[in-house]
Amino acid sequence: MISVIIPSYNSENTIQKCLDALKNQSYQGNYEIILVDSSIDRTPQIVSDNHPDIRLIHLDKKTDPGTARNIGIREAKGDIFAFIDSDCVPSKDWLERIANAHKSVYRIIGGVVINGNADHDIIALAGYMAEFREFLPGQLKREVTHIPTCNISYKKEIFVKYGFFQGKYYPQEDLVYHCMLTEKGEKILLDPTIEIFHNHRSNFKEFLKHQKKIGAVTPLVLRTARLPGSFIAKHPIPYAILIPVLPVIKFLRTLIVFLHRQPKIIVRRPIAILAFGISLIWWTIGFTQGVCTSRYSTTR
């Protein structure tokens, strides 16, 4: 049995499509859907009215996705836990491909992320560029060190053996968890046939705010996990020297990946590149604040 676990907060604009797609999968086996929701909008009502058979766990307090997933894990009955976000739509064969992939030796398997917004949505395209350059379609099946929790699945014993997500690292709690798993010897398989469509923020202000949040938590993540760039987060002098270069490196790496894998986005919507570039300024501001905050907290 597969348990599909979805964290949700104020998802009234996206939850219907997500659940409709999950209820119409080609997979013929048994599966349950658990929605852990802390919304203050109409999300719970939409779910109750249209999908009363779905397990809805409504929380009274806003909850980060990692903590919401942990609640779903504790309630799940399956042998495989499949994770997707409330702003995503799975392909029709999503669960079928997950189930088949888990017949292998791998206990952690995920897939790729496709932009679910319209091509003319410039801010959404910029968000896609900012967050999913490493998980674009068209890749080879291979082992990786990380796949985002909007499209990943685990055997139940992973959580029994290693514990749960740590919400304090949001929005990179999955990255920290996967670094720990790979250090313990677990292998993560990227299967590009496992596809989801991700709907990104279309509001420029919200997009910049989120990128700043990602930047702010990154130094904490780098101080915790063994990742490229950890040295910079731990030592202020190299950081001060390299900080003007970091956003340039991120910009060029992302541009190269999209030119190689999805050049149409660059050619048709070049203004999305500008929006992405502007977001890196906010990311850098957040990163700087995170370096100062995490350095202060570790020296107290």
User: What residue spans define the domains of the chain?
Assistant: 205-299
119: Cα within 13 Å, side-chain hemisphere = 9
pLDDT above 90 for 188: yes
136 contacts 113 by C-beta, under 8 angstroms: yes
pLDDT above 80 for 44: yes
Q: Is 98 left (phi over 0), alpha (psi -120 to 50) or beta?
A: alpha
* Proportion of the chain above pLDDT 90, given as a percent: 82
DSSP characters over 90-149:
E-TTHHHHHHHHTTSS-SEEEEEEEE-S-TT-HHHHHHHHHH-GGG-SSPPPEEES---T
Q: Which two tokens stand for residue 136?
A: 């674009």
Mean pLDDT of the chain: 93
Instruction: Give the separation between CA 112 and CA 277, rounded to whole angstroms.
Output: 23
Binning pLDDT at 50, 70 and 90, where does residue 62 land? Answer: very high
Q: Model pTM?
A: 0.92
- 112 phi and psi angles, rounded to 5 deg: -100, 165
pLDDT above 60 for 64: yes
Report the amino acid identity of residue 297.
S
DSSP characters over 245-259:
THHHHHHHHHHHHHH
pLDDT above 60 for 300: no
**What pLDDT is stored for residue 231 in this prediction?**
67
Q: Partners of 155 in the beta sheet?
A: 80
